């Protein structure tokens, strides 16, 4: 992703995205970049009013005429997922400790 495209995407998120809980607007200071890959960017956004936290995956469309997206929305998945338990943390730790990185093998396993 080019820097100009990145800035444009962040500016669009600031203009169009509101907090899923209180509908407040976010500013650039409320966003933390978690990473980027090709035409995608991953952000953590914390609402300045109610402190709701959201994870955002945003993408630039490669075709210039399709780059403008209207009505961007953040879904607050925390309400549906609930708090992370100690058992879940231990379970993922144990899984990652022995995981060899072969996703193809992992996803082809029958459960």
Q: Where are the domains of the chain?
A: 3-108
**What pLDDT does residue 72 have?**
54
**What pLDDT does residue 61 have?**
63
Exposure b/e, 68-78, CB count within 10 A at least 16 = b: eeeeeebeeee
**What pLDDT does residue 17 have?**
85
DSSP labels, 11-34: HHHHHH-B-TTT--B--GGGEEEE
What is the spatial distance between Cα 16 and Cα 49, in angstroms, rounded to a whole number?
Answer: 17
26 exposure class (CB count in 10 Å sphere: 0-12, 13-18, 19+):
buried
Q: Enumerate residue ranges in the chain where pLDDT < 50.
A: none
What is the spatial distance between Cα 7 and Cα 98, in angstroms, rounded to a whole number?
Answer: 39
Partner residues linked to 77 by β-bridges: none
**What pLDDT does residue 30 have?**
92
């Amino acid at each position: 992703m080019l820097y100009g495209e990145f800035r444009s995407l962040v500016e669009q998120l600031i203009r169009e995205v509101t907090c899923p809980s209180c509908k407040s607007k976010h500013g650039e200071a409320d966003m933390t970049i978690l990473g980027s890959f090709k035409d995608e960017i991953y952000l953590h956004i914390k609402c300045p009013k109610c402190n709701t936290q959201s994870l955002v995956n945003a993408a630039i469309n490669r075709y210039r005429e399709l780059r403008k997206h209207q009505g961007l929305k953040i879904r607050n998945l925390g309400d549906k997922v609930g708090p992370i338990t100690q058992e879940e943390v231990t379970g993922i730790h144990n899984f990652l400790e022995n995981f060899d990185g072969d996703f193809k093998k992992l996803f082809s396993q029958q459960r």
